[in-house]
Structure 1
Amino acid sequence: MTIFGPLGPSLASSVTRNRGLYRAFKPFADWYADIAGYRRYGLKYDDLLVEERDDVQRALSRLTDSETYDRSFRFKRASQTSILHAELPKEQWVKPEEDVRYLKSHVESVVEEDNERSAWDNMAIQRKK
């Protein structure tokens, strides 16, 4: 398993595997997610991924109809609140337990497929003597 994600090196897998590190970083991660403010507009973390990346575009095409609709609804609602220069009412904010990574598995499978395709495309064939 590599520590490199689609955007570069990542220590997240090492931190989540080590219980002591996880307990040390979890409060900071929760605080950072709260202060980032995307949940106040009804968005989830995966809504913030850059859509112009090829792997994200292909992952978005793999979402179910209901996931696609929910994502569009969250964007429209966030755009409306941004135009009004207001946040959603507190009861409509995305709660931390609702902020699940719905797109991550799709992006990872797209990256794995690209890596496999690249390995097959660049395979060197050697003749037996």
Structure 2
Amino acid sequence: MASRAPAQTGRVLLGFRKWYYNLCGFNKLGLMRDDTIYENSDVKEALKRLPENVYNDRMFRIKRALDLSLRQQILPKDQWTKYEQDDQYLTPYLDEVIRERKEKEEWMKK
């Protein structure tokens, strides 16, 4: 019985994550989670490091979402971004930028 508890907890947690992902609403506009990150200096540097095609895809999704928002519409349900399709394309670059900034700050303290 104890061995089944972690598996059931994992399924419940995944169900909650999917529910919350759909509740946020950005997927109804075709956005991914990394498209909604607030652009501070670290994020702006990470965006500069993105490959051109990934950056262009991001800009297309954001422009489409702005257009839909202005018209007060959402995409048809078959075009919504699904939880399983949402990859964190910016997160590795952002982690690298933050690590480099912290390393630079440590170096400047010495």
Report the aligned-residue RMSD. 1.7
Say whether residues 1:29 and 2:17 are aligned partners.
Answer: yes
Say whether residues 1:55 and 2:42 are aligned partners.
Answer: yes
Name the structure, 1 or 2, with higher relative contact order (CA <8 Å, separation 6+): 2
- Alpha-carbon shift at residue 19 of structure 1 (Å): 6.8
Residue number in structure 1 paired with 2:3: none
Say whether residues 1:81 and 2:68 are aligned partners.
Answer: yes
- Alpha-carbon shift at residue 75 of structure 1 (Å): 0.8
Residue number in structure 2 paired with 1:6: none
- The whole-number CA distance in structure 2 between the counterparts of 1:22 and 1:116 is 35
Letter paired with 1:43: L
Residue number in structure 2 paired with 1:10: none
Letter paired with 1:108: D
For structure 1, the 5+ residue unaligned runs are 1-17, 124-129
Distance 1:58 1:29, change over 3 A: same
Question: Normalized against structure 2, the TM-score is what?
Answer: 0.87
- The whole-number CA distance in structure 2 between the counterparts of 1:64 and 1:71 is 11
Q: How many pairs does the alignment contain?
A: 105
- Alpha-carbon shift at residue 81 of structure 1 (Å): 0.9
- Alpha-carbon shift at residue 22 of structure 1 (Å): 4.2
Say whether residues 1:46 and 2:34 are aligned partners.
Answer: yes
Letter paired with 2:17: A
- Alpha-carbon shift at residue 20 of structure 1 (Å): 7.1
Larger Rg: 1
Distance 1:66 1:54, change over 3 A: same
Distance 1:49 1:19, change over 3 A: farther
Structure with more of its chain in helix, by fraction:
2
- The whole-number CA distance in structure 2 between the counterparts of 1:118 and 1:25 is 37
